[in-house]
Chains A and B, each alone.
Chain A
């Protein structure tokens, strides 16, 4: 997205087509893993999680047009900071809550 004027310069639908094709493939694999019970549960969960991460990147790149060249630096830093915080907050919360569960049956 060209944010020098906040106005779109996106002139082609190419990124959107690439995006939806990739997203559909990734989604189909995830759903397929469940529909056909192709892998043991733990493995399937990890694969689904990984596919989700990849699909998020696909969305960021092809639908939100985020890249290291045209996206303003402050947007990227905000996104990176949000990711770090989400890791700390969610990771910390899960650690605390499961630790409490093991100790206190809470």
Chain B
């Protein structure tokens, strides 16, 4: 047995300049991060305050860091594709087909699994427990495992740039192409293990959030007083728990086919290739709602706060969210209308797909009615929200078109489809998360982001988006298939050049976000959030300090109404100093979760390269770690009432120096919260 499995020196990417540069950048990136930490003398901080932390707020921030790093990697993939397609009319361009195939495969895989999923997990982790008046999620240790498993998956995708190659089978890895007969190398295996390992993390995250929302709410916080963001998290979590098993089954079977020579999806020997597609999309459709529902939740929060008006149609928004969640399990065949089903099957799923557009439409109207007659404050989160409302609607409409099987027969796998899903994902999912990032940044770090750069970032993103993707609708009508490495039709090129320009403008938008962050850190003393409530917010996360104390609330709030924090301000009971404090039990930091994540990463690597002894060793490490943790009855520590008082006293001292309302100086300020005349 070879100690290195199928890993050899040839696995290093010296066969191509582009591959070598990709590897070089990855390695350099990792080394620079370590160099910076060393330079700042921050290893103690990084390891003992962050890597070993199981505090939901820190885990949330780390998730978002993973998401932003992977956003850059996924964007580089996009830029490579746009530039290749802009020049490759009647010539090969600069990206050979094998490489181009890896690029589009990693672009989709990264953006969905390692940008969007961590981004939403991060925002939810940071904010949801505070919104429901809780001290943490229900299972802080499992929360950390989820983070580190996601990081393990992302690391597998990153290391595929350095050792071996990535998959060329697209982000969906359809067999038989993704089987061992047609793609025997390590690429698909990298994809499989990255997805399966992070998928376990996502299932655990869903369980964690569900139990938290159902069981850990503050007194008086009934389900119908939950903020809309938490409602969308609730439904998202249900989707995560019930949809990810399907991906685990589909991916697991493909692993068995590739590694143990089984015949789930082989072309012959009794394999059934369509079963993969069925199982994959059983997960895949709920997945896109997992991505968008939290973004819808962010928009609900932002639109109310920056219209300075109560969210319109609370019950309809809740019902619409639940309807979307349930219906998302009834439409999955629309991803493979063209693959041979009868008219009866196609029309059932087509009908369900058109129906699922309705609750989303209800939400859009509810947001519009919230804005109507509000006093709008055009800060960046609101800009992204307004951009979303217009742009996402177009994407939704193209989706309703595609929902009709006869139309889909024409448009399936053309760039029309690419345009459609980017038209819902970018203004929907990504704008939502960027808005959430800018909205909740002060809560995480205690100072606000620079608004000028945020505004420029928005304009680059939205202009860049239209330039990059509207041409793709036209190209779809002109017959251009997706994933084309080069082409011979002259009429396509001008559109692709415009699209490349759009991609460049989006790049500027990303640069603006990076500059925004740097400038904000530099100028943070002049943009401090002293009260914890920088936007005159409505929900309970704004009741805590910025950043929040480890325990979030020294005294759990007594909730009496929806928009609980606004209600407390209106009744004059906000910022009340408690008579006395109590001891608070908090979980201790621990490295075990990171160890499990690290072992998960090495396990995935070992399985990919057939290094069986290492895989078994990693399983043993994981098993032992779990047993050790499961035998630990002393995993909490007590923060005494005196310590809590010290932290709270400091906060009240800061409050004394702060303006009563941080929005009072804003020209658009509509006034202090007052008690509602009627409910």
The answer to whether A and B touch in the complex, with CB atoms under 8 Å apart, is: yes
Q: Which residues of A contact B (CB under 8 A)?
A: 74, 81-82, 85, 88-89, 92-93, 95-97, 99-100, 102-104, 106
Give B296-345 interface residues, CB cut-off 8 Å to A.
329-330, 332-333, 339-342, 344-345
Give chain A residues whose Cβ lies under 8 Å from the Cβ of B332. Answer: 92
Give B198-228 interface residues, CB cut-off 8 Å to A.
214-215
Report whether A89 and B272 are in contact in the complex, using a CB–CB cutoff of 8 Å. no
CA distance A103 to B215 in the complex (A): 49
| CB 8 Å contact bits of B326-367 with A (1 = contact, 0 = none) | 000110110000011110110000000000000000000000
The answer, among B215, B278, B342, for a CB contact under 8 Å with A93, is B278
Give chain B residues whose Cβ lies under 8 Å from the Cβ of A102. Answer: 342
Report whether B282 and A100 are in contact in the complex, using a CB–CB cutoff of 8 Å. no
- Give me the 3 closest cross-chain CB pairs, A-B, nearest first: A104-B340, A99-B345, A106-B274
CA distance A92 to B214 in the complex (A): 30
Give chain A residues whose Cβ lies under 8 Å from the Cβ of B344. Answer: 99
Give chain A residues whose Cβ lies under 8 Å from the Cβ of B345. Answer: 95-96, 99
Give the shortest distance, in Å, between A81 (CB) and chain B (any CB). Answer: 7
CA distance A38 to B366 in the complex (A): 62
B238 at the interface (CB under 8 A from A): yes
B242 at the interface (CB under 8 A from A): yes
Report whether B340 and A103 are in contact in the complex, using a CB–CB cutoff of 8 Å. yes
Number of interface residues of B (CB under 8 A): 22
Give chain B residues whose Cβ lies under 8 Å from the Cβ of A97. Answer: 272, 274-275, 278
CA distance A104 to B214 in the complex (A): 46
B112 at the interface (CB under 8 A from A): no
Report whether A89 and B274 are in contact in the complex, using a CB–CB cutoff of 8 Å. no
Give chain B residues whose Cβ lies under 8 Å from the Cβ of A92. Answer: 282, 330, 332-333
Report whether B341 and A96 are in contact in the complex, using a CB–CB cutoff of 8 Å. yes
B246 at the interface (CB under 8 A from A): yes
A sample of 17 inter-chain contacts (CB < 8 A) reads: A74-B214, A81-B238, A85-B242, A85-B329, A88-B330, A93-B278, A93-B282, A97-B272, A97-B274, A99-B341, A100-B341, A103-B340, A103-B342, A104-B274, A104-B340, A106-B274, A106-B340
B621 at the interface (CB under 8 A from A): no
Give the shortest distance, in Å, between A83 (CB) and chain B (any CB). Answer: 11
Give the shortest distance, in Å, between B560 (CB) and chain A (any CB). Answer: 24
Report whether A88 and B329 are in contact in the complex, using a CB–CB cutoff of 8 Å. yes
Q: Which residue of A lies closest to B345 (CB)?
A: A99
Give the shortest distance, in Å, between A103 (CB) and chain B (any CB). Answer: 6
CA distance A89 to B330 in the complex (A): 8
Give chain A residues whose Cβ lies under 8 Å from the Cβ of B340. Answer: 100, 103-104, 106
B463 at the interface (CB under 8 A from A): no
A106-B274, A106-B340 given; 17 more Cβ-contact pairs under 8 Å: A74-B215, A82-B242, A85-B242, A88-B329, A89-B329, A92-B282, A92-B332, A93-B278, A93-B279, A93-B282, A95-B345, A96-B278, A97-B275, A97-B278, A100-B341, A103-B340, A103-B341
B273 at the interface (CB under 8 A from A): yes
Report whether B246 and A89 are in contact in the complex, using a CB–CB cutoff of 8 Å. yes
CA distance A81 to B329 in the complex (A): 12
The answer, among B273, B275, B282, B342, for a CB contact under 8 Å with A89, is B282
Give the shortest distance, in Å, between B518 (CB) and chain A (any CB). Answer: 46
Give chain B residues whose Cβ lies under 8 Å from the Cβ of A85. Answer: 242, 329
Give B444-462 interface residues, CB cut-off 8 Å to A.
none
Give chain A residues whose Cβ lies under 8 Å from the Cβ of B275. Answer: 93, 97
Report whether A106 and B273 are in contact in the complex, using a CB–CB cutoff of 8 Å. yes
Give the shortest distance, in Å, between A6 (CB) and chain B (any CB). Answer: 12
Q: Which residue of A lies closest to B340 (CB)?
A: A104
CA distance A100 to B336 in the complex (A): 12
Give the shortest distance, in Å, between B628 (CB) and chain A (any CB). Answer: 22
Give the shortest distance, in Å, between B250 (CB) and chain A (any CB). Answer: 11
Q: Which residue of A lies closest to B245 (CB)?
A: A89
Give the shortest distance, in Å, between B284 (CB) and chain A (any CB). Answer: 13
Q: Which residue of A lies closest to B333 (CB)?
A: A96
User: Given A74-B214, A81-B238, A82-B242, are A100 and B329 also a contact pair (CB < 8 Å)?
Assistant: no
CA distance A39 to B131 in the complex (A): 60
Give the shortest distance, in Å, between B174 (CB) and chain A (any CB). Answer: 13
Give chain B residues whose Cβ lies under 8 Å from the Cβ of A74. Answer: 214-215
Q: Which residue of A lies closest to B275 (CB)?
A: A97
CA distance A48 to B275 in the complex (A): 26
Give chain B residues whose Cβ lies under 8 Å from the Cβ of A81. Answer: 238, 242
CA distance A89 to B280 in the complex (A): 12
Give the shortest distance, in Å, between B193 (CB) and chain A (any CB). Answer: 25
CA distance A93 to B276 in the complex (A): 11
CA distance A102 to B344 in the complex (A): 13
Give the shortest distance, in Å, between B327 (CB) and chain A (any CB). Answer: 11
Give the shortest distance, in Å, between A86 (CB) and chain B (any CB). Answer: 9
Give the shortest distance, in Å, between A79 (CB) and chain B (any CB). Answer: 12
Give chain A residues whose Cβ lies under 8 Å from the Cβ of B278. Answer: 93, 96-97
Give chain B residues whose Cβ lies under 8 Å from the Cβ of A106. Answer: 272-274, 340
Q: Which residue of B lies closest to A77 (CB)?
A: B214
Residue of A96, A99, A100 with most partner-chain B CB within 10 A: A96
Give chain A residues whose Cβ lies under 8 Å from the Cβ of B274. Answer: 97, 100, 104, 106
CA distance A105 to B333 in the complex (A): 18
Give the shortest distance, in Å, between B564 (CB) and chain A (any CB). Answer: 22
Give the shortest distance, in Å, between B325 (CB) and chain A (any CB). Answer: 10
CA distance A106 to B274 in the complex (A): 7
Give the shortest distance, in Å, between B280 (CB) and chain A (any CB). Answer: 12
CA distance A12 to B238 in the complex (A): 36
Give the shortest distance, in Å, between A19 (CB) and chain B (any CB). Answer: 28
Give chain A residues whose Cβ lies under 8 Å from the Cβ of B329. Answer: 85, 88-89
